[in-house]
Amino acid sequence: MPLKNVVLNSMVAERFLHYVRLDTQSDSSSDTIPSTRKQLNLGMELVAELNRLGLSDVNMNEKGYTMATLPSNSKKRLPVVGFVAHIDTSPDFSGKNVKPKIVTNYNGEDIILNKDLDLILSPVDFPELLQYKGQTLITTDGTTLLGADDKAGVAEIITAMEFLLAHPEIEHGTVKIAFTPDEEIGRGAHHFDVQAFGADFAYTIDGGEIGEIEFENFNAAQASIIVKGRNVHPGSAKDKLVNASLIAMEFNAMLPSSQRPEYTTGYEGFFHLTEMSGTVEHAKLNYIIRDHNKERFEQRKVLVQSIAALINQSYGNTWVEVEIKDQYYNMREKIEPVMHIVKMAERAIYEAGIKPLVRPIRGGTDGSILSFRGLPTPNIFAGGHNFHGKYEFVPVESMEKAVEVIYRIVQIIAEQ
């Protein structure tokens, strides 16, 4: 249904629909902070909006981090809680000229995203759609991602703050909010000023399905495999030519094929080939390495190095070079000593009429790095599905429930 003909009567959805129209893709090849200047456009809009709402200490620094404060209205000395979301969208798929589509009273059938491209969002491929029958869905038009990751979280946090400002009778302590750039390229928390933020603990609103709460994530590394070759005319190549592209293929074949993302779930880790290029003279493979278990994570990195060493030994020279960089670690070890903050979120979800879904993140969030920097930060659902691509969608009702969970956490803290 065309967006212009739909009135949602939902403040969080209207905010979200406005935010997704701004292109905020991050760029892993950039060395700037933030990685793309266009992220600052949304940041400046958020600063203006937060000031209009009446929040305190509103600011965005030169690196694109936006922060604000909802001052306490309680006479009690309460812990300071923070809520964090990221403003960038994934570079995996276009985030330019996003044109959301609205499906009201979803009937459980195929959704036509784009007639010209013959593109549908089907419960045959995505059975989770069926749990939202009768609800209002926001989808893509099939040409871009949607941006629910994590502009849904941004909209939910701000709408929850607006609700608390409109209801001063609800007792609450000091609440800090922050919006970060570059989360999608693994840099969102690197320049986050934890001390200036001033929270005792926080929650990222960056999860998927309604009800999710997560305090475990992958240990993560990135591996670059550089293969050198020796190009000789094929007519005289006998015992001389070394084909870098074929060696790269050999390297990939030596990794366990069952340990790829498409074959793993839950706590199972993986090796994921994200990019490849090659000629006879030079080839490159980029992988991400993931595992929840720290010991197995280290073993995976050793395996990559061992394969390179074996190939070099087989070919009698150093044709393969490996560079591995750790990206982030499993936040569980930092959350377990303060599990009461997870229990508070579980209670808030339950009291909002939702079944809490405690599960490990098969990925990472700003919260993993923030937790290791002294700010314990588990993750809560924002409501979206199928992030980073043209099949992304978010139910409006899930966003509204996320707003409720946020202000219920604030209320639960005030009961202490």
Domains of the chain by residue range: 3-216+330-414, 219-327
Q: Kindly report the average pLDDT of the chain as a whole number.
A: 95
Q: Confidence class of residue 236 from pLDDT cuts 50, 70 and 90?
A: very high
Q: Which of 149, 156, 162, 183 is catalytic?
A: 183
Tell me the H-state helices in 138-187.
148-166
Q: Do domains 3-216+330-414 and 219-327 have the same CATH topology?
A: no
CATH architecture assignment, domain 219-327: 2-Layer Sandwich (3.30)
User: What are 360-399's pLDDT values in tens digits?
Assistant: 999 888 999 999 999 999 999 999 999 999 999 999 999 9
Strand partners, 277: 284
CA distance 160 to 133: 26
DSSP secondary structure of 218-243 = -EEEEEEEEEE-B---GGG-TTT-B-
Q: Which of 23, 88, 392, 404 is catalytic?
A: 88
Q: Is 183 a catalytic residue?
A: yes
User: What are 118-140's pLDDT values in tens digits?
Assistant: 999 999 999 999 999 999 999 99
Q: Is 88 a catalytic residue?
A: yes
What number of H helices and E strands is found in the chain? 10, 17
Strand partners, 101: 139
Tokens 């880790």 sit on residue: 269
The answer to whether the CB of 42 falls within 8 A of the CB of 163 is: no
Q: Where are the beta strands (DSSP E) in 174-269?
A: 175-180, 201-207, 212-214, 219-228
Among residues of the chain, what percentage have pLDDT more than 70?
98
User: What are 329-371's pLDDT values in tens digits?
Assistant: 999 999 999 999 999 999 999 999 999 999 999 988 899 999 9
CA distance 388 to 51: 31
Has residue 1 got a pLDDT over 80? no
Token digits of residue 373: 């920097």
142: alpha, beta or left? (left if phi > 0; alpha if psi -120 to 50): left
Pick the CATH number of 3-216+330-414 from 3.50.50.60, 3.40.50.2000, 3.40.630.10, 3.30.1360.120: 3.40.630.10
Full-model pTM? 0.89
Tokens 């006998």 sit on residue: 238
Has residue 5 got a pLDDT over 50? no
User: What are 239-291's pLDDT values in tens digits?
Assistant: 999 999 999 999 999 999 999 999 999 999 999 999 999 999 999 999 999 99
